Amino acid sequence: MRVTIFDYGAGNLHSLAKALAGDGVSVAVEGDPLIALRTDVLVLPGVGNFRQAAARLTSARAAIRDAIRAGLPTLGVCLGMQLLFDSSTEGPGRGLGVIAGRVSRLAAFRVPHIGWNTVDDARDPLFRAAPLPTAYFANGYACRPEDETLVTAWTTHDRDRFPAVVRAGRTVGVQFHPEKSSIAGVQFVRAFLAGLSA
CA-wise closest residue to 143 among 57, 64, 69, 84: 84
Per-residue pLDDT at 46: 84
CATH class of 2-197: alpha beta
Q: How many CB atoms are located within 10 Å of the residue 14 CB?
A: 11
Catalytic site includes residue 148: no
Cβ neighbours of residue 169 closer than 8 Å, sequence gap 6 or more: 71
Question: Distance (Å, rounded) from C-alpha 29 to C-alpha 110?
Answer: 33
Question: Distance (Å, rounded) from C-alpha 31 to C-alpha 85?
Answer: 21
Among residues 30, 78, 146, 157, the one annotated as catalytic is 78
Q: What is the mean pLDDT of the chain?
A: 95
Per-residue pLDDT at 16: 93
Percent of all residues in the chain with a pLDDT value above 70, rounded to a whole number: 98
Per-residue pLDDT at 198: 64
Per-residue pLDDT at 11: 66
Per-residue pLDDT at 137: 97
Question: Distance (Å, rounded) from C-alpha 53 to C-alpha 78?
Answer: 12
Catalytic site includes residue 90: no
Catalytic site includes residue 78: yes
User: Above 90 in pLDDT, residue 124?
Assistant: yes
Among residues 90, 143, 157, 179, the one annotated as catalytic is 179
- pLDDT bucket at 169, cuts 50 / 70 / 90: very high
The domain segmentation of the chain, as residue ranges, is 2-197
Among residues 90, 143, 157, 177, the one annotated as catalytic is 177
Q: Does the pTM exceed 0.75?
A: yes
Q: How many CB atoms are located within 10 Å of the residue 64 CB?
A: 23
Mean pLDDT of 100-127: 96
CA-wise closest residue to 158 among 115, 106, 116: 106
